[in-house]
Structure 1
Amino acid sequence: MYKNMEGQIAVITGGGSGIGRDICIEFAKCGVKVMVTGRRESNINETKKLIEDLNGYAETYKMDVSNKENVESVFEEIYNKHGKIDILINNAGLSTPPTFCTNMSDSDWDGLIKTHLYGAFYCSRACSKFMKNNNYGRIVNMSSIAGVFGFVGNINYSTAKTALVGFTYSLAKELGQYGITVNAIQPGIIRTSMTERALDALEVKFANETPLKRIGEPKDIASAASFFCSPNSGFITGVIMRVDGGYILNSGMDLLMMQTCSGEQE
């Protein structure tokens, strides 16, 4: 927990559930004033209540990150009220039912790309001009291990998460001169509503394939986000941090050799 974040203004997109909610709560524990944004008012209001139950500070803003005008309006409202925006977490996302590229509809492709990629672009563009005014800022983009090696049946999701890596590198170069850092997190298999169905069927398998032998929790990602956003991390920019328990390190051959070596020890 970073107490030197007290009084900062943080905008978290997709803050109504999952990873976004845990980031909101983690930041509130650090004394940050949390601007919870999302499309579902009931969800963001629930996050706000959880923060207030911890004696934290939160405001809610209904925002669709794929709507440019909506995004610009919300960021202007927050800046006009507080006079600054210190932190932006580009977390908003969605998923579509798995399907091969040959069967994917235009709407599934467009909708996901608009939310994950256009959303990060719209929010970063709207926010960075205010950060530049104060010569300070922290931007964190939510990529994924799908952006490293792709997911079968999720070419739209994998494409968006890969693109966010290049987006992070370029934006870090552009904004560094203004004291603004830009980094990205690549979560592995994290326990959220998005992964619920897969974990119901394969949790033991996924855990066994992860060197740390467990499934990730949203709080694991929240801890990484608070690290990137602390004033202590001012010389860290353009970094892509995997938070996956080492899942990406293992291959089929590794698992086979692990079993073989384990058998030799018995």
Structure 2
Amino acid sequence: MHRFTGKVAFITGAASGIGRAAALAFAREGAQVAITDRTEAALDQLRAEIEAASGEVLAIRCDVSVPEDVEAAVAKTTERFGRIDCAFNNAGVENKAAPVHEITLDEWDRILDINLRGTFVCMKHEIAQMLRQGGGVLVNTSSGAGIRGVAGGASYAASKHALIGLTKSAALDYAKANIRVNAVLPGNIETPMMDRFTGGDIQKAIDLEPVGRLGKPEEIAEAVLWMCSDLGAFVTGAAISVDGGWSL
């Protein structure tokens, strides 16, 4: 089955983890894929992997905290493929663990600039293109931290809570324009970010999961593809947890 033949997928934070899994899944399902990230070496490796499997791919270096990068990436994608049917706004970073009174303004701004402002800028340009072409689907990566508190993680949790509000509001703004907007809320997933967050002690993250294991990036990717597919056509404004019960 090739659910996305003839479709174009635009993915931020694509060089590793969930973004990488989503890029491979979209390509496997027949989509033309635009992959963006700040890390060029890993991006080039992913591009080569997709091309080796006969996929059509465009790799673009893009830092979502730089609005000019985002605007250029969306423009390059539409120049190459003509449209953007599915946008997966996945780029994000974790915070340095600290209680609120010890969070510096620079650290607060760093997290919000990438996780929230960066996603907002992506959405602005993606939605403008989708309005021109008559529709599309956006999925934003929030987190289980978007619906619960995290000790030592106020900046990250604030950014992910805000993403849900942004998602729901945009869903209402464009519901009659054939544009759907949803969010995926991953739990503790086997990614480089999780390695950094736990300092390499993955068992700490496993112990937080009711199901007794970490999630796989591919499991998040499958949820994203479902939301972007025709099977999810009646779903907009949803914040869907894929977290093994962590947020419970």
TM-score of the aligned structures, taking structure 2 as reference length: 0.95
Distance 2:169 2:128 in 1: 16
Secondary structure, counterpart of 1:35 in structure 2: strand
Following superposition, the deviation at residue 144 of structure 1 comes to 0.4
Following superposition, the deviation at residue 156 of structure 1 comes to 0.8
Distance 2:98 2:205 in 1: 21
1:155 equivalent in structure 2: 154
Following superposition, the deviation at residue 88 of structure 1 comes to 0.7
Letter of the structure 2 residue corresponding to residue 99 of structure 1: A
* Pairing of 1:5-24 with structure 2 (within 5 A): 5-24=4-23
Distance 2:176 2:243 in 1: 31
2:231 equivalent in structure 1: 232
The structure that is helix-richer by fraction is 1
Following superposition, the deviation at residue 202 of structure 1 comes to 4.9
Distance 2:49 2:115 in 1: 26
Distance 2:69 2:202 in 1: 39
Contact 1:5 1:231 in 2 (8 A): no
Contact 2:195 2:202 in 1 (8 A): no
Letter of the structure 1 residue corresponding to residue 213 of structure 2: R
* Pairing of 1:73-88 with structure 2 (within 5 A): 73-88=72-87
Contact 1:7 1:31 in 2 (8 A): yes
1:176 equivalent in structure 2: 175
Letter of the structure 2 residue corresponding to residue 163 of structure 1: A
Distance 2:161 2:208 in 1: 23
In the alignment, does 2:210 pair up with 1:211? yes
Letter of the structure 2 residue corresponding to residue 14 of structure 1: G
Letter of the structure 1 residue corresponding to residue 125 of structure 2: A
2:70 equivalent in structure 1: 71
Following superposition, the deviation at residue 209 of structure 1 comes to 4.7
Letter of the structure 1 residue corresponding to residue 27 of structure 2: A
Distance 1:76 1:227 in 2: 26
1:255 equivalent in structure 2: none
Distance 1:200 1:74 in 2: 33
Distance 2:209 2:95 in 1: 25
In the alignment, does 2:94 pair up with 1:95? yes
Following superposition, the deviation at residue 208 of structure 1 comes to 5.0
1:159-182 CA-partner distances (Å, limit 9, x unpaired): 000000100100001111111110
1:123-174 CA-partner distances (Å, limit 9, x unpaired): 1000111111222201000000111112111111000000001001000011
Following superposition, the deviation at residue 15 of structure 1 comes to 0.3
Letter of the structure 2 residue corresponding to residue 27 of structure 1: F
Report the more deviating stretch, 83-92 or 71-80.
71-80
* Aligned CA-pair RMSD: 1.5
Would you say how many aligned residue pairs link Structure 1 and Structure 2?
A: 247
In the alignment, does 2:212 pair up with 1:245? no
Report the more deviating stretch, 42-51 or 120-129.
42-51
Gaps of 5+ in 2: none
Letter of the structure 2 residue corresponding to residue 242 of structure 1: S
Following superposition, the deviation at residue 206 of structure 1 comes to 4.3
Following superposition, the deviation at residue 84 of structure 1 comes to 0.9
Letter of the structure 2 residue corresponding to residue 122 of structure 1: V
Larger Rg: 1
Distance 2:219 2:136 in 1: 22
Gaps of 5+ in 1: 250-266
Distance 2:199 2:216 in 1: 12
Following superposition, the deviation at residue 222 of structure 1 comes to 0.4
The percent identity for this pair of structures is 34
1:201 equivalent in structure 2: 201
